[in-house]
Amino acid sequence: KYSRQIATMGLAAVRKLVKMKVLIVGMGGTGVETAKNVILQGTRAVTLFDPAPTEMRDLGVNFCLSEADVGKPRDGVCVPKLQELNKECLVSAAPELTEAVVADHTILIITTPMPKNELIKWNEFCRSFSVTQVDASGTLAQVSAPISFMYCFTGGAFGSVFVDLGDKHMVLDPNGERPMVRIVTEITNDEEGLVRFVIPDGEKAESLPEGCSIEFEDVEGMFCTDEATFETNGVNINKRPGGWRTYRKKGDPFGTLRIGDTTKLSPYMGGGTFTEKKTPTEVKFRSLASCTTHPGELPMTDLINFGSEYHQHVALQATLDFQVAHGKLPTPNSEEDADAVLALAHKFVNAMKAFNESTPNASIPAIDLEMMGGVNEDIVKKFARHSAVELQPLGAFFGGVLAQEVVKVGGKYTPVPGFLHFSAAETVPDTPPPDTAPVGSRYDNLISVFGAKFVSDLGNLKYFMVGCGALGCEFLKNFALNGITCGPGGRLTVTDADRVELSNLARQFLFREDTVGKPKSTSACAKATQMNGGFTPEALEMFVGPKTEDHFNDEFWQELDGVCNALDNMEARFYVDAQCVKYSKPLLESGTMGTSGNVDPVVPYKTKTYRDGGDAVEGGGIPMCTLRNFPHLIDHCIEWSRDQFEAIFVKPVKRAKVFAEDPEAFLQDLGDKAKGDASAVAKLIPDVATLINTLRSAQGATVESCAQLAFDYFHALFRDKLVDLITLYPKDARVVKDGVDKGPFWSEKKKFPTPAEYDPSDPVHAQFMLSTTHLIGQMLGVHTPYGGDDPSYLEDKRSNEWINGVVAGLTVPTYVAAAVEVEGEEKEEGEGDEKGAAAAVAKADPTEVLQGLLTDLASFRGTDPARLEPADFEKDDDYNFHIDFVTAASNMRAANYAIPPTDFSKAKLVAGKIIPAIATTTAAVTGLVILELFKMVQEKPIGDFRNRQIGLAVNNFTSFEPDEPVKKTQRVKMVEPDLSELGPEDFDETGKIKESSLREERTAAYPDKHSCWDKLLVPNDCTLAELVEHFKQEHKLQVSRWGLKNDPFVYPPKPVFDPAVFPALDLPKNKAFMAIRGDGRVPQKDKMTVLAAWEKAKQTGELPKQGKSTLEMTITELLAEKGGVTIEGRKMLHLEGISFKGTAGTQPTEDTPAGSLEGQDIEVPEVYLVLA
């Protein structure tokens, strides 16, 4: 259930969460979002306190509330609905907020607009809290045990968070990133020892943190040479307590770092890795009272409006002061109240200035806005106008931020250091709308800021949501609460082809245990409709791509107002992005990876497309040679083991079923392949051999025969392949290229392996045999089918003692040499070094080997495939032996290569390709996306949109304006002519071509400065000849070439001839050619073409029929016949691949000289045919 969360935060952090008790005061938007996320994360208990009666406006920010709850206490209504999210977390409501109630919790979070004096009171109580314990002497003593305190204020488009985790908070891991691993290649013996290293295959090429500590492992040599060094460093460089502190010096080469004095260590002999060591750091937090006046350095959240965080801090304090003075927050849109807050802001700043003047040289001065031009009156008044209004998107965002701060209480990640201020003021209308008066609606908060018309516009949107997982669930909730698509003219189409999995429940909050296995789209939409009676999304179970364009057709896309992506793969993202470009639709794009997230609004004609953004890439992979023969990290072993799962338990059975259904066709197909090149044949040999073993084992299979096959695999994978490898490349093998010795073969990324022998006392050996035996038993039908998630399945056959009892009766297979599959550099390095049995096998005729196997395979005709069942890898079931196999096989492989082993959890994460994902990041990102949607509806200028990148682990909130689309324009560059065109006078004394001899190359674009959003539209279907004329007349462009999938020469058209020009078919070739040469109807350039057609006709006995020139065909006919395009139901057809040249009249700009582009290639936008 928590696999994605563990992948992000680690098992230790998740275990700490289940011990926490969180008290949340306030069940507005931020409070309920925080509660949701904390509960989903698996916290032990969550207590709510908000006895205020539910109002209609609350329904627009709190997804737990409905019309029937108006007048009821908010906390009491929320408890049962939040409890549904996680039965293991106790959710309750506190009858009152007392010291005893707070003392019963580990964390207090205040999200209600509590007066400042009350906030400070509770913060001081939490900071000073202590417990009575028995000390070492046996006497009772008061021990400080501060309760973590958090506060959040949101008003309009502004929000602030305050965090206080006490005087002594330990940060165990500041960023949550996996410690970096590097391979050591050299360590010098110097007073400032230099370590040279390389990056392992599959690892990111990023720099180590400055001044980080590292720990060495498996370094050979570097032993202590005296007693003093031994006391400091241990036996050798690998054993130093606390690791080695690193640093760099100016001028140090790339791929190096320094570790201090290594002169008292013996010389480096080779090998080894080092791993970044996370060092615990103590952080001292200050009280709310102190940070109010002395906030210190505030986290930067706005890169566009420098210093706005400090102005917002002043605005917050002034607003809270107004609340204390008037007993309420400023009335929404009241200029009088806003002016009063502004006066308080000036008073606060002046007081802080006086404080600084009276306390010079203080370590932390009071806030000072003098360097920033004093009080920013615009920010203060904007803050005040809507300080009493809660916007749901900001609640979702801060609910994610606060819940992540709860995780940080356990020491994982970097907490907010006091105050953090965030603003989305650019979302608010530039001038106050005239229709902001409340109407007693669930949307009154929105109306107060954006006006009633805006809410109506939101309701009548027609949107398409692609994906309904973690992002999709949050988006559905946000759409429902904000009334998006909920109006009479609104429509939301949601599609997702996936089904709910158990692991989804910890972050995809619209799913429950009873929806596991059901479609995501229908399950999520059914739950979301309960939040708003006007929300009626259409749920589909379809992929979005070329294969579903019959459903998601031109009409569907053209009717949309926009698209909201909730996807987790790049291929689908790029497809949707391309469709939005085609139909000029705005796109809301976002994504998460662990604690990091991004928001990318794509606005037609105003921003780059998602694809053009440049940062959208998926991770690379590990080279096959590394997985196959040269692993050096445990991840390599896990990836290899996952491949072996397919090779042993999936592919052989699938092949066996195909063989059993039609043996003759199967053998014929392999026989045909055996006639191919030797390398292709060699790759077939192990597959056929495995198939034969599977078929042989399936005959009268028993547990013992399954175990024997598992035993054979044990020796083949962990003994035989290694023997083959080290026979081909002995330990003293050298790399020799072009007669030059390049050093030892086994170095850096190549670790010399040690073959295994089965040891019944080794639990890894036993676990490999146990899991493999049972998986083979399932595969061959020996075991009863597994029902799923059943710890009692084969419970009497799960012990090491049981499997070792079976192994005692098995036969150790004889080693048989086999060829080693090498490629690339290793293949070159191994040339001339082959020896022994492996070399003999490598030089054997693979075709003869395969033919022998095919003869053996033929004897299995008549095999009944009914009992055979391939495994279906399932990472989220801990009892099906799948991850057991991967873990055991990975650790066997690791032992072969002296790599530290893995555990079950990491094997599951890597083999299952589990993407780190948590509810907090998803909630925060989707809240920010809705703000961008608000801007789209208001048709805001590009300067108001924000690309955002957030990192909840380290409090990184980066916002910047989107880039404009890439524009195609005219450009001129000087290029070198062909050398054949130059003479001696064109070169200077150095042999370079003179600038005066360079020729001008002009690239033209039509229209000038067009982007991918622009299009050339052909208004009606027409013939190709008419299309060519259309571009000449309308755009002064000449079609130069057009090719389609089934005909690359649509234009210029191929010649079409009357059958009368073909000579009689009974003529000899020479006379036919003479007749064609003398026929004036055939142009000279086409005579050989006609002769070739005549020869073909002579062979078939039929003359060609009268053809039709492509010029005479309509565009739709061409697309259908020669492009394979389905025309029915289409309204907009892409005329892909048309090339253009300029004519005498082509003038993209007024400055383009007439005729200067004639005959030149012209870049144009995509061309579309629009059908009525």
563 membership: H or E segment, kind and range? strand 562-565
DSSP letter, residue 738: T
β-partners of residue 597 are 592, 950
**Distance, CA of 1033 to CA of 1007 (rounded, Å):** 15
Give per-residue burial for 358-384: e unless 16+ CB within 10 Å, then b: eeeeeeeebbebeeeeebbeebbbbbb
- Strand stretches in 137-246, DSSP E: 140-144, 148-155, 158-164, 169-171, 181-187, 194-198, 213-217, 220-221, 244-245
Give the Å distances, CA to CA, from 52 to 56, 102, 109, 389, 439.
13, 19, 17, 16, 21
CB 1027 within 8 A of CB 1115: yes
Nearest residue to 1038 via CA among 964, 925, 1144? 1144
Please enumerate, as own/partner, the contacts of 972-979 that have beta carbons within 8 Å and a separation of 24 or more.
972/1000, 972/1001, 972/1002, 972/1003, 973/1000, 973/1001, 973/1003, 974/998, 974/999, 974/1000, 974/1001, 975/999, 975/1001
How many C-alpha atoms does 667 have within 13 Å on its Cβ side? 16
State the Rg of the chain over Cα.
36
**Sign of the CA dihedral 5, 9, 10, 16?**
negative
Residue listed under structure tokens 């299952």: 912
N-to-C CA span, the chain: 52
- Cα dihedral 1049/1051/1053/1054 (nearest 10): -20
**Distance, CA of 337 to CA of 386 (rounded, Å):** 11
**Distance, CA of 746 to CA of 733 (rounded, Å):** 7
CB 1115 within 8 A of CB 1133: yes
Tell me the catalytic residues: 625
Q: Which amino acid is at 710?
A: A
Give per-residue burial for 509-520: e unless 16+ CB within 10 Å, then b: bbbeeebbeebb
- Joined together, the tokens standing for residue 281 give 């750091």
**Distance, CA of 910 to CA of 60 (rounded, Å):** 41
Q: Which amino acid is at 235?
A: V
**Distance, CA of 946 to CA of 424 (rounded, Å):** 9
DSSP string, 676-728: S-HHHHHHHHHHHHHHHHHHHHHTT--HHHHHHHHHHHHHIIIIIHHHHHHHH
DSSP letter, residue 102: H
- Residues in contact with 364: Cβ distance below 8 Å, sequence separation at least 6, in sequence order: 294, 296
How many C-alpha atoms does 968 have within 13 Å on its Cβ side? 18
736 membership: H or E segment, kind and range? strand 734-737
DSSP letter, residue 267: P
**Distance, CA of 156 to CA of 390 (rounded, Å):** 6
CB 1006 within 8 A of CB 1035: yes
Three-class DSSP category at 251:
coil
**Distance, CA of 84 to CA of 197 (rounded, Å):** 51
Give the Å distances, CA to CA, from 734 to 197, 722, 731, 737, 749.
21, 18, 9, 10, 15
- Cα dihedral 544/549/552/557 (nearest 10): 100
